[in-house]
Amino acid sequence: MSAEEAKSREVPEPGELIYSPPSSWLPAFFAFAIALAVAGVYAEGFMVRGWVYSIIGIVIALFVFRGIVRGGVGDFFGLRRKQKVRGAVLPVEQLKVPER
């Protein structure tokens, strides 16, 4: 590949920055708590009454959901307010008149 071809194939920098959220165990705990709350309906007679499992699952789910929302709000307000706007230059296609 010649130097001229390499120069024409350069990709410009992206116009927006992408921020990925940090990894978290909270969604897994939330799923476990919801499963515990639902399983409490069917766990009647296993060690304790079934509604006890449901209450424990609902309480855990509420605390974990609160943590998920707090993390999302913190991530949102941690982002930069303004980004430098840059338009991407699109390649121009040459239109040819169809041959007859």
Nearest to 14 by CA among 92, 93, 81, 89: 89
pLDDT of 33 reads 95
The alpha carbon of residue 68 and the mean position of all alpha carbons in its chain are separated, in whole angstroms, by 12
> How far is residue 69's CA from residue 75's CA, in Å, rounded to a whole number?
10
Task: Inform me whether the pLDDT recorded for 22 exceeds 90.
Answer: no
Task: Inform me whether the pLDDT recorded for 1 exceeds 60.
Answer: no
Torsional class of 45: left (φ above 0), alpha (ψ -120 to 50), beta (otherwise):
left
For the beta carbon of residue 61, count every other beta carbon within 10 angstroms: 19
For the stretch 31-84, pLDDT in tens is 999 999 998 888 777 677 888 889 999 999 999 999 999 998 988 888 777 766
In the chain, helix, strand, coil percent, each to 5? 50, 0, 50
